[in-house]
A and B are shown apart, each in its own frame.
Chain A
């Protein structure tokens, strides 16, 4: 079932030059006629370099920005210009996890208040009370539930990102948009968060739009991949198709540029690792 349908979405920003009233206006097209679908339960990755328009696309999909033209359909309902109750319901179904957990979590709120806030906005009181609800959520994302009264600054970067994920999950979303959600993390932490994201999806069956610049990370988590360059989707296909048989020139350049650990060394290390496991 198609959860989100994005059709011909374009976003132009009007950049105003200097000169007050007579300033020349120049439209800058950040996203140019972008179309894609997100199926229920799948992970669609949107990759690209800086300025490719991937983050703007994510923001439009979450209705944090309004598109200049084009349409968004969520569960077969046009929500491009939805307001009021319809928009509130959409906001409930679509949650965003941002890159920098510390700047996207209110430093003066406890974890409990942060993760129950989305419910409070909806006027829903969590079953079993806020304390029990947040403890259960924290457990799900691999945090110590006894820390529910702590503040974001008392957690490490990886833990703070888990809080961000917990907040997104509090309202039981159907689509979670991860905007460079693991980019700022150290590689060992990154691996843990990726594992967590995969596990949560398996448990709850929601979809991801996974925005990233790191192609290696994308290969670990996506089923389908959209490659963006200069505001356009230049290639969209299944993960293996895009990575193993890229059609577009830009995709090929991008893939070739990714640094790789010497494959021969890597192979030898794994063989040794396997032997070590077996001899145990």
Chain B
């Protein structure tokens, strides 16, 4: 088991290094010259040169990349200024430390992701389960029709419609502002309710369809027939023999979806004006703020890769067939 985890973490490091190199090449080499970007419109060649020297842009590519990595692990110096680890550089736009920008916004994105995940898991799995058990009834048909519609509606449309209805027309909810939980729990909940719902609906519909399909497939399994032949109660068969095999694969999908969201819900955050990682990404792309784009990309990759490992570990705990036997 320990060996397995160490092996997987080794893999994680390799993948993250590859992602680093790739994003580095794309953002620093294929984009406009950062020195020109920083310098702005009124700029002299001398000034560009000095910026280049400070940022290390006149050095060979590999050296630059090496310094970038060093910055993350051990910190680095820009001219006379020291940037302590983990150093992701400074924003070209605001000169703020990128690391500070990220850590300030991450809680918002985490709040959005966790709340939405709870909502969609509850709604999706419960809906799918009821549909599977009452397969072919009016409940099943209407729930699945609704789910199909929900999957197909883009969530910015949903966000704008909800915002118009609930905030502007009916005024039952405040305009989302991402206040701190400790200041005003009520307002906190009300502000996040809409982003959570909007983000959750698409996933909930998808999960409902998945759950339904998995439960129906599982109920047709031979071991369910065995359970019936043993004379077990229907509720026990459903709870014990159908649910666990049906939901285990959903864990995998959930892990990946959730990890993806931790890297920022770009559309939802932008539409509701929430200052999370997603909005940071959107803003930095719009302004071509390379260090920030780079950091946001790395962060998303980090969550996805770690999420992958966690999902695999959880899966081995849930499914005895893939449980790791320590040799």
Q: Which A residues are closer than 8 A to B by beta carbons?
A: 17-24
Contact = CB atoms under 8 A, between A and B. Distances in A.
Nearest to B312: A18
A19 B327 contact: no
13 contacts: A19-B4, A19-B6, A20-B7, A20-B8, A20-B11, A21-B7, A21-B10, A21-B14, A22-B3, A22-B6, A22-B10, A23-B7, A24-B327
Contact of A18 (B6, B10, B14, B324): B324
A23 B8 CA distance: 10
A18 B327 contact: no
B224 to A, nearest CB: 25
B11 A18 contact: no
A17 B322 CA distance: 11
Interface in B1-37: 3-4, 6-8, 10-11, 14
Interface in B28-72: none
Nearest to A23: B7
A18 B14 CA distance: 17
Interface residues of B, number: 11
Contacts of A22: 3, 6-7, 10
A24 B326 CA distance: 11
A18 B322 CA distance: 9
A21 B6 CA distance: 9
Interface in B308-327: 322, 324, 327
A261 to B, nearest CB: 30
Nearest to B12: A20
A19 B10 CA distance: 10
A21 B8 CA distance: 7
User: Which one of A17, A19, A23, A24 has the highest number of Cβ atoms from chain B below 10 Å of its Cβ?
Assistant: A19
A21 B327 contact: no
Contacts of B8: 19-20
A278 B167 CA distance: 98
Contacts of A18: 4, 7, 322, 324
Contacts of A24: 327
A192 to B, nearest CB: 31
| 9 closest residue pairs by CB, A with B | A19-B7, A22-B7, A20-B7, A20-B11, A19-B4, A21-B10, A20-B8, A21-B7, A19-B3
Nearest to A17: B327
Nearest to B3: A19
A18 B313 CA distance: 11
Contacts of A17: 327
Interface string B147-176: 000000000000000000000000000000
Contacts of A20: 7-8, 10-11
A24 B322 CA distance: 16
A20 to B, nearest CB: 4
A49 to B, nearest CB: 23
Nearest to A22: B7
A19 B8 CA distance: 6
Contacts of A19: 3-4, 6-8
A17 B327 CA distance: 10
Contacts of B4: 18-19
A20 B10 CA distance: 8
Nearest to A24: B327
Contacts of A21: 7, 10-11, 14
A19 to B, nearest CB: 4
A23 B322 CA distance: 15
Interface in B52-97: none
Contacts of B327: 17, 24
Contacts of B324: 18
A18 B11 CA distance: 12
A178 B3 CA distance: 44
A17 B11 CA distance: 15
Contacts of B7: 18-23
Contacts of B11: 20-21
Nearest to B4: A19
